Amino acid sequence: MSIEITPALRDRLENTLRCLAIDSVNAANSGHPGAPMGMAAMAIELWDRHMRFDPSDPDWPLRDRFVLSAGHASALNYSLLHMFGFEMPMGELRNFRQLGSRTPGHPEYGHTPGIEVTTGPLGAGFAHGVGMALAARMTRARFAVRDEEEWSGPGQHVVYGIVSDGDMMEGISSEAGSLAGHLGLGNLIYMYDDNKITIDGSTDLSFSEDVQARFVAQGWHVQRCDGNDAIAIGDALRVAREETERPSLIICRTTIGYGSPNRAGTSSAHGSPLGEEEAKATKRSLGWPPEAQFLVPDDVRDYLNQCVLSKRIQRREMDGELANWQRHQPELSAEWKACRARKVPTDLVARLTEGLEKKDAATRKHSHEIINRLAEAVPCLVGGSADLACSNLTEIKSSSAVGEVDESGERFSGRNIHFGIREHAMGGIVNGMALDGTFLPFGATFLVFSDYARPGIRLAALMGIRSTFVFTHDSIHVGEDGPTHQPIEHLDSLRIIPGLTVLRPADGIETAMAWAWVAQAAEGPAALALTRQTLPALERPAGFVLEDIWKGAYVLREVEGEAQGTLLATGSEVSLAVAVAERLQGEGISLRVVSMPSAELFDAQPEGYRNAVLPSEGAPVIAMEAGMGDTLRKYLGGRGMLYGIHRFGASAPGAEVAALLGFTPEKAAEAVRNHLS
């Protein structure tokens, strides 16, 4: 489908890209010109002759994905979007890095059409791409059909990426690369911009490993080529695509700041504008008109227009093939569409909450039951744990694991994902799967190790995507494993991530409603904090409406007449608060109890509701949480009290640690009594 191109015209395409990046960075007087200049040959070869996309429909599900893991090279990505006809007018390139532009400092998903993933934190894009490739393989296994070696149906696209020295140095690329190699993600192709330069200078300063040997050892197919030789790059990409059982790395030797007489090959090309004089000198050395800025020559524009046209013809053909598959596979096609629309049955809440009203259990156990009900009701649910499936209780029992060979010889038909002990990569991979758009993915570990997954959680929040993180063993009640395994600051540290909804359910009903919210109502990422220890089923007031749980907080126990205070609690401390209220009732102290499964959902309620649940004046609010609890301070009012834990825990049976730290009905009641008196 590619149209003929002369070597001279190809050079001009590359130089157009280089010079657009130079001009954008110069205009902003800020940014990274060196990497785009060095990557231009790789990027043009990939976008022009290999990638399948339709710039008029950036969300076309069959498109190949492009991940610029070295997000600081964003000027490259924006210039490519402009050249290949996406909604990226030249004015946006001139406005690089300015407020309100479509060209922010680093690529931002959801902000710029055609950007597949937010990158910038080095290594993150690498892992997100692995998630996208995994989602594609799982899509193909579930929905496409094979006749001999020919597939028809969705999930056949390729995930391409450009990764850099910084990506390779970051540990997350080792984690994600290891899993990609283990799973044999043959639809993943990364080009490594091996320019041997980072900010501080040569990679000799800190990076001497044999990258080729490392990736071979991880089970990748590795090639090397000259990153300025378009023919060699093209050949390597074709060989990489033919390799369908292993992910591919193409190590492309490049020169940072290619073409710049005084900066090429040095770290001075990395992160500062070339400036007017050096830009002119560079253009001259590239055979470009030195005075021209933001130039796309007519012959280049004509060629690109033709290229886009042929890509759109290719898209029509592929859509035709998909329509054929849809005709022959109406059930699979309906299920695929339902997945992509993240459809849920209208009776989901009833199905998830059924029979849990009176059941005492750890919320992780409730969650297990609910995950399995949800998996039945919502086919797009997939996920797994970072080697703690037996503790996090995340297994979808009706399904096999990804990597397990099924009766048709397929390895990706399962819905359970073993991420291995790779929480950092898991964060990115879950996000990559969410970005792919077919599945509703979750990843799990202990709450204390949410720190290890935090970069991915933050990016999920920044992108506003529906990644779910299941964190069990959510407090000092973990017990014997001791302070290294007992989260203290984690609930607070998750709650302060903008856009993340933290749900800490207090019993089976709240756990079911938390999952129902994730499947039915969430518009961004969610983190579930679940207990290891058994919790009693809560008694709710007559006429209680289950959906009130989605308001983030609700009155669980009202008192007649005037209350002397309100106990505000989350998760496992809700039943503690009830026990305290009942105990003090006998002493003539009447207390309301408010359960707060999610501070974020509560904060989003109208003021009237918030004031009715937690009056801002009058009797004090006492917040109870088996953790720092500092994010609950805003609810306390002037005379309230935070009953939390401001130290690390201890290694002992859970009940003893709880007693030591005051989390028993006796001790908590005493503290409340003292405060009120």
Ligand X SMILES: Cc1ncc(C[n+]2csc(CCOP(=O)(O)OP(=O)(O)O)c2C)c(N)n1
Catalytic residues: 423
In angstroms, give the least distance from the CB of 226 to ligand X.
16
Question: How far is residue 247's CA from residue 232's CA, in Å, rounded to a whole number?
Answer: 19
Question: How far is residue 121's CA from residue 428's CA, in Å, rounded to a whole number?
Answer: 11
Question: How far is residue 261's CA from residue 286's CA, in Å, rounded to a whole number?
Answer: 10
Nearer to ligand X, 51 or 127 (CB): 127
Contacts of 666 (CB under 8 A, 6+ apart): 583
Helix extents (H) in 298-359: 298-328, 330-340, 348-353
In angstroms, give the least distance from the CB of 666 to ligand X.
47
Measured between alpha carbons, how far is residue 196 from residues 162, 202, 427 in Å? Answer: 15, 6, 28
In angstroms, give the least distance from the CB of 422 to ligand X.
17
Count the Cβ atoms, other than its own, within 10 Å of residue 626: 29
In angstroms, give the least distance from the CB of 303 to ligand X.
28
On whether the CB atoms of residues 254 and 39 are closer than 8 A, the answer is: yes
In angstroms, give the least distance from the CB of 194 to ligand X.
9
Nearer to ligand X, 198 or 533 (CB): 198
Nearer to ligand X, 268 or 392 (CB): 268
The secondary element (H helix, E strand) that includes residue 607 is helix 607-613
In angstroms, give the least distance from the CB of 25 to ligand X.
12
On whether the CB atoms of residues 297 and 116 are closer than 8 A, the answer is: no
Nearer to ligand X, 70 or 440 (CB): 70
∠ CA 66-321-155, nearest 5°, is 40
Tell me which amino acid residue 74 is: S
Nearer to ligand X, 453 or 672 (CB): 453
In the three-class reduction of DSSP (H, G, I as helix; E, B as strand; rest coil), residue 472 is classed as strand
In angstroms, give the least distance from the CB of 35 to ligand X.
3
Q: What is the dihedral of CA 520, 373, 475, 644, to 10 degrees?
A: 40
Nearer to ligand X, 196 or 351 (CB): 196
Nearer to ligand X, 205 or 213 (CB): 205
In angstroms, give the least distance from the CB of 167 to ligand X.
6
Question: How far is residue 325's CA from residue 332's CA, in Å, rounded to a whole number?
Answer: 9
Both tokens of residue 425? 């990569």
Nearer to ligand X, 116 or 507 (CB): 116
Nearer to ligand X, 200 or 523 (CB): 200
Q: Which residue is nearest to ligand X (CB)?
A: 166
Measured between alpha carbons, how far is residue 262 from residues 286, 290, 292, 499 in Å? Answer: 13, 16, 20, 44
Residues binding ligand X (CB under 6 A): 32, 34-35, 70, 72, 120-122, 164-166, 170, 193, 195, 197-199, 256, 270
80 closest CA partner among 318, 296, 297: 296
**H, E, C per residue of 214-244:** HHHHCCCEEEEEECCCHHHHHHHHHHHHHCC
Question: How far is residue 97's CA from residue 112's CA, in Å, rounded to a whole number?
Answer: 12
In angstroms, give the least distance from the CB of 298 to ligand X.
31
Burial of 221 (0-12, 13-18, 19+ CB in 10 A): buried
Contacts of 360 (CB under 8 A, 6+ apart): 534, 535, 536, 537
